[in-house]
Every structure is written in C-alpha cells, then in structure tokens.
C-alpha cells in the first residue's frame, strides 16, 4: 500500500525584514506554489494555514485569512499551531485529508512577520504560563537555552567554538546561492569568532535571527498528480509529529525544569531522536538512504546535535562530520543546502514548510548551484515548543 | 519603610537567604513517587501511574551537579525586570541536575558567580536570593552557587 502524496507545487516569498503583513507573504508564496503546480486557486479544495500567533486574530485563524486573501472560493479550511513545528502540522493535516480521500488538492501556507530582537512572551501577568515564567523569574531567552546545549556539548564531546563557527560558514555558503535566503553573503570563521557573545559560549553569528517570510506547498493525491500529467512527482512518504515520552530528561524551551526520574527511568532515547525515528519507520528507509537533510539550526551547535539525532553519525560525532566537510554542499550528506536558519532567520510558521520546499527543489533536480547530484531522498527535522515533533521524509 | 519580602512565584521555595535552610519545593505523587517542579498540584503526569495517589509538597535536594551553564549578555525582554537606565549587568544561568530527583532545574547563579567559576559536573547548592525590588516589595527567588568557594575547584 502506498501512503505517498505528491508535492505538485512549492513556492516562497523571500525571507527578510520587509515590514509588511504576514498575509502578503503567505499569499505571494501560495500564488507561486500554485503557478509551480500549474493549478488555479479555484482548483484547491482544502487550505491549511500554519498560524502566526504574533499577528493577532488574523494570525490565529491563518487558514481562513489566507483563503480570504486569495478570494473566498468555498474550500475546506484548517488552521494549526505548534510553534516552530506548525508547518509540519499543516503538512500532516493536509496529508491526512488527501489519504482519507477528503480532498484531492490541498494548499498549505505559513508566513510570519517577525519582531525585532529576542522573542518575548505574550504580555500581562501570567504566572501559569511557563513561557512567561522563564522570562520573569530567570530572564531565560531562547539563545540562553541554545547556549546551555552548546556548553554541554563542549563539556561532553569536546566540541570547540571553531566547530560551531564551521556550521555557520557552511550554511552561509549555501545561503549565498539561494535567492529566497535573507542573508546571501559568505561568512568566515573569523567573522563568527569576532561577533559579540550573546549567551556564553554562543556569539551573535552562532544564533539565528528572526525574519519575515512565507512558504507554501500544493499537495495532491498520487492519482491527481498522474491525471495532471506528472507521472513521477516528488512524494511525501512520512510526516512525524510525535510527542516526547515520560520522563523527559532533556531541558527544553520554555521549561524551567525537566521531569524527575523518581517514578521511572527514561527510555527510548532523547525526544529529538524519536522524531526522526518515527519518520524513518513510517517511510521505510533510514539515514543511510538520504541524499540530503534540512534541520533546524536555531544555533550552530544545535545543527551538530541534529546530525546525531537524525542518525547521520553516532552520539558526540557531529563536530567531526562538519570538520570533514561531509555535510557541506559536495559532501557525503549535505545538510541545510538551503542555507538553513543561519541564512534565512526564523519565520516560525513558514519555516518547516520552507524546509520541504528545499527538499522538493533538490529532489526535482532544480536547485541550481545548490543542487545535490542525483538526490533521491531527504528528511526535514524540527521541534516546536512544548513538545511538538516535526519531521518530513520526501522521495523521488 | 519596611518592604514586603515576597517570593516571585508562591509555593516554589521555602526559607530565606539568611536562615541557611532554603529549599526548592516540588510535589510528589504518593502512588508512583513522581516528583514535579514546578509543583504540580492538580494531577500526576506519569502515564504509568497506577492512580489514586495524592500530590504532597516535598522539598527538593539542596544540592546537585551542573548540567550546563551560560550567561545573558543582553537585557532580556519584559517581564524580566531591570532598570533600563542602568548599564546591563550580565547574569549567570545554571542548569543543575538535582541529586535525588535526577531532574534538571534552571536557576540564576548567586551574585558574583560567573561562567568562569563553573564547570559541567561541578557540585552546587541552592540558596535564597533577591530577584528585584520595587517600591513596596522585595521579590525573592532561588539561586545556585558552587559548594566550593568560586575558583577553588577549577
Ligand atoms: Zn503518580
């Protein structure tokens, strides 16, 4: 039995700081994806929006907001939110509708208009919200958590600041070749080293920025793709949206503490690894089958962690992989061929969709100077606040 | 004028910085022994809990080992309270794996403790401290500091 769905169209609005509404970015991305698919908006029978919670009510109901901006045409609507994993949830919802026979053609859209500086929690006095508490009680920003992970890698595995910098250098080199990236300049290790320390040991250029941007996909049943004249489309073979298992012992944003191990011992490995494992199991393939991967490099050090979590190498071997050049363009298993968050900056609800756009272009052989020769399979991996797993496997 | 000393979150710790018996407070499920911090008073979150237990307040281990650490070189956004007119003084953040519970708890370092004083695996203890003060209130919190005097174990 095939549980594949087809990616008929992929589109993005360039990342940047454009100062306009997220709706414009999402609409532009949707139009581009529809044109890429050779379809009209009126052909779409279901629209799934990844929510933009920083943009008020229109953002909370992003599916309807995008549908209205494209012109009401009666399509089924879904709006989903899972922080950084919102895009994968949107793809997962679309896929379920297609596989259930509820819709043949589904448009998935995510877009963000990001504020300047640190992400801050919603306002007011809200001591029941762990996200509010970590700022009030600890001043623990997102980069603070990234820095905790980075320092621990240095202590456990001997990672060096130079290894972290190498990730930035690699991703900036790829991003320089991507017209949708916000930062399109190559970066040297020296430039990373001389950027200001934000949260020891991470420097400004180790940490991703926040951006405006929009991404969209046109997803269809395999039958529809064939009837539309696309015999061999890029296929989504797995969408992993798993949660952690108790007790969760790895400190995660926005938590102030992990679970205790007094009732039961941790089992099944860390959460991030379980996200990829579920995707591989569903897709019936493994890391050895990958041509490329797009992972969530919120920080340079976190990219090394993902290498291990998606099985590209053993625990503690991530730095060795980047040092060898294995994950650079032209390497054995290129990671973040798009340039990653390092080159894009995070546009939260759009980012997991953008990852799949990159896989789509790579698997079609249309990624230009970034092309991984003969790409046949790729994975995206990402994690949303409060325990939302996100991984997509696409094949050709 | 005497100002109120008020915990920044009520029920999360007991004792003061002076009396030397400062402890973080969690809750413990009597049915499965799961411990929760921040305290969970409504329900047990262990999916394998047999149920029927009660959540009772329990003091957490006063000591643990450094899981990781960092600092904040830039002023965090509200609701963190800081004087916008004063120069920013970085604070240290320490993630500590508590001895008995095996849980990792985040806290600020005690005044004067910098990242240069810390190492992963180092033993630290919890003490009381002041987060910020305003016109009517001294807001108290928890802090971590090395058990050995700073610098000695390095
Ligand atoms: Zn229990």
| Complex-level ipTM | 0.94
Residue B40 CA to ligand 1 centre (angstroms) = 11
What percent of chain B is helix, strand and coil (3-state, nearest 5)? 0, 40, 55
Q: A382 pairs with which residues across the strands?
A: A390
Asked whether the domain spanning A130-205+237-395 has the same topology as the one spanning A5-116+213-235, the reply is yes
- Give the C-alpha separation, A245 to B46, whole Å: 10
Interface-testing mutation among B59, B95, B117, B132, with chain A (most A C-beta atoms within 10 A): B95
Give residues 85 to 104 of B whose Cβ lies within 8 Å of A.
Answer: 91, 93, 95, 98, 100-104
pLDDT < 50 regions, chain B: 153-154
With contacts defined as CB-CB under 8 Å, which chain B residues touch A200? 70-71, 73, 115
Of B9, B100, B101, the CB nearest to A137: B9
> Three-state DSSP class for A297?
coil
> Three-state DSSP class for A384?
strand
Q: Which residue of A has its CA nearest to B9?
A: A127
Q: Is the pLDDT confidence value at A299 over 90?
A: yes
Query: What's residue B153's pLDDT?
Result: 47
Per DSSP, which regions of chain A are E strands? 5-16, 46-50, 76-80, 105-112, 197-199, 202-203, 212-220, 234-240, 292-295, 377-384, 388-395
In chain A, the largest separation of any two C-alpha atoms, in whole Å, equals 58
Q: Look up the pTM and report it.
A: 0.95
Q: Are strands B63-72 and A46-50 parallel, antiparallel or unpaired?
A: unpaired
CB A137 within 8 A of CB B139: no
CB A383 within 8 A of CB A390: yes
Q: Which residues of A171-199 are buried (b: 16+ CB within 10 A; e: fewer)?
A: bbbbbbbbebbbbeeebeeebbeebebbb
Chains A, B: CB contacts within 8 A come to 148
Give residues 111 to 130 of B whose Cβ lies within 8 Å of A.
Answer: 115, 119-121
B154 in any annotated domain: no
Model confidence over A192-222: pLDDT tens digits? 999 999 999 999 999 999 999 999 999 999 9
Q: Is the pLDDT confidence value at A1 over 60?
A: no
- Give the C-alpha separation, A338 to A180, whole Å: 9
User: Are the beta carbons of A260 and B69 separated by less than 8 Å?
Assistant: no
| Fold of the A130-205+237-395 domain | Peroxisomal Thiolase; Chain A, domain 1 (3.40.47)
- Give the C-alpha separation, A292 to A337, whole Å: 8
Query: What's residue A2's pLDDT?
Result: 56
Model confidence over A18-65: pLDDT tens digits? 999 999 999 999 999 999 999 999 999 999 999 998 888 999 999 999
B151 in any annotated domain: no
Q: From the centroid of its chain, how far is CA A58?
A: 22
Residue B31 contacts A, CB cutoff 8 Å: no
**φ/ψ of residue B27, rounded to 5:** -125, 155
Residue B56 contacts A, CB cutoff 8 Å: no
Residue B37 contacts A, CB cutoff 8 Å: yes
Calculate what percentage of chain A has a pLDDT beyond 70: 99
Q: How far is CA A43 from CA A97, A220, A227, B134, in A?
A: 16, 11, 14, 60
B94 in any annotated domain: yes
Query: What's residue B149's pLDDT?
Result: 59
Q: How far is CA A23 from CA A43, A64, A70, A74, in A?
A: 20, 11, 10, 19
With contacts defined as CB-CB under 8 Å, which chain B residues touch A299? none
Q: How far is CA A103 from CA A44, A68, A207, B14, in A?
A: 9, 19, 40, 57
Query: What's residue B151's pLDDT?
Result: 52
- Give the C-alpha separation, A245 to A235, whole Å: 29
- Give the C-alpha separation, B28 to B109, whole Å: 26
Residue B127 CA to ligand 1 centre (angstroms) = 29
B152 in any annotated domain: no
Q: Which residues of A39-57 are buried (b: 16+ CB within 10 A; e: fewer)?
A: bebebbbbbbbbbbebbee
Closest CA to A241 of A212, A291, A278, A202: A278
Domain boundaries, chain A: 5-116+213-235, 130-205+237-395
Q: Which residues have CB under 8 Å from A26's CB, separation 6+?
A: A13, A49, A62, A65, A66, A69, A109, A110, A111, A214, A216, A350
| DSSP assignment string, A353-371 | HHHHHHHHHHHHT--GGGP
- Domain count within chain B: 1
CB A67 within 8 A of CB A45: no
Q: Which residues of A93-121 are buried (b: 16+ CB within 10 A; e: fewer)?
A: bbbbbbeeeebbbbbbbbbbbbeeebbbb
B31 in any annotated domain: yes
- Give the C-alpha separation, A231 to A334, whole Å: 27
Model confidence over A315-366: pLDDT tens digits? 999 999 999 999 999 999 999 999 999 999 999 999 999 999 999 999 999 9
Q: Is the pLDDT confidence value at A168 over 50?
A: yes
Exposed / middle / buried, residue A289 (Cβ in 10 Å: 0-12, 13-18, 19+):
middle
**Which residue range(s) make up the domain with B131?**
4-146
Cis omega (within 30 of 0) on the bond before A237? no
Model confidence over B107-128: pLDDT tens digits? 999 999 999 999 999 999 999 9
Closest CA to A294 of A88, A148, A3: A88
In chain B, the largest separation of any two C-alpha atoms, in whole Å, equals 54
| Fold of the A5-116+213-235 domain | Peroxisomal Thiolase; Chain A, domain 1 (3.40.47)
Model confidence over A235-294: pLDDT tens digits? 999 999 999 999 999 999 899 999 999 999 998 889 999 999 999 999 999 999 999 999
């Amino acid at each position: 039995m095939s549980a594949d769905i087809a990616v008929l169209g992929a589109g993005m609005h360039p990342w940047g700081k454009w100062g306009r509404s997220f709706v414009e970015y999402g609409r532009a991305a949707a139009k581009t994806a529809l044109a890429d698919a050779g379809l009209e908006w009126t052909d779409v029978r279901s629209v799934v929006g990844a929510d933009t919670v920083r943009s008020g009510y229109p953002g909370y109901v992003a599916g309807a907001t995008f549908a209205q901006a494209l012109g009401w045409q009666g399509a089924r609507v879904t709006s989903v939110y899972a922080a950084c994993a919102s895009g994968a949830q949107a793809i997962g919802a679309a896929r379920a509708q297609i596989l259930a026979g509820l819709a043949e053609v589904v448009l998935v859209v995510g877009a963000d208009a990001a504020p300047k500086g640190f992400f801050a929690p919603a306002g007011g006095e809200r001591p029941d919200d762990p996200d509010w508490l970590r700022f009030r009680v600890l001043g623990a920003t997102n980069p603070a958590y990234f820095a905790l992970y980075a320092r621990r890698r240095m202590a456990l595995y001997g990672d060096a600041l130079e290894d972290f910098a190498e990730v930035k250098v690699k991703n900036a080199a790829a991003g320089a070749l991507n017209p949708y990236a916000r930062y399109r300049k190559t970066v040297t290790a020296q430039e990373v080293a001389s950027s200001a320390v934000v949260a020891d040991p991470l420097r400004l250029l180790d940490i991703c920025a926040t951006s405006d941007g929009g991404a969209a996909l046109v997803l269809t049943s395999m039958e529809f793709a064939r009837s539309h004249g696309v015999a061999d489309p890029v296929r989504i073979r797995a969408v992993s949206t798993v949660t952690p298992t108790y007790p969760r012992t790895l400190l995660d944003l926005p938590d102030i503490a992990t679970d205790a191990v007094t009732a039961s011992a941790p089992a099944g490995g860390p959460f991030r690894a379980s996200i990829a494992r579920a995707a591989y199991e569903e897709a019936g393939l493994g890391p050895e089958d990958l041509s490329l991967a797009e992972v969530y490099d919120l920080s340079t050090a976190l990219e090394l962690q993902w290498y291990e979590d998606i099985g590209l190498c053993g625990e503690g071997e991530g730095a060795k992989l980047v040092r060898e050049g294995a994950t650079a363009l032209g390497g054995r298993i290129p990671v973040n061929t798009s340039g990653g968050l390092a080159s894009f900056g995070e546009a939260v609800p759009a980012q997991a969709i953008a990852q799949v756009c990159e896989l789509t272009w790579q698997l079609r052989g249309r990624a230009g100077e970034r092309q991984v020769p003969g790409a046949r399979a790729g994975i995206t991996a990402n994690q949303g606040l409060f325990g939302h797993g996100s991984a997509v496997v696409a094949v050709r | 004028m005497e100002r109120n000393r008020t915990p920044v979150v009520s029920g999360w710790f007991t004792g003061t910085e002076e009396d030397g018996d400062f402890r973080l407070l969690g809750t413990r499920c009597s049915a499965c022994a799961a411990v929760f911090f921040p305290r969970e008073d409504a329900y047990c979150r262990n999916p394998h809990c047999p149920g029927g237990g009660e959540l009772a307040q329990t003091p957490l281990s006063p000591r643990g080992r450094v899981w990781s650490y960092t600092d904040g070189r830039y002023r965090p956004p509200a609701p963190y309270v800081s004087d916008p007119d004063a120069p920013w003084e970085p604070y240290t953040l320490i993630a500590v794996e508590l001895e008995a519970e095996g849980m990792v708890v985040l806290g600020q370092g005690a005044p004067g403790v910098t990242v240069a004083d810390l190492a992963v695996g180092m033993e630290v203890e919890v003490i009381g401290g002041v987060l910020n003060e305003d016109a009517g209130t001294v807001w108290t919190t928890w802090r971590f500091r090395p058990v050995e005097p700073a610098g000695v174990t390095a």
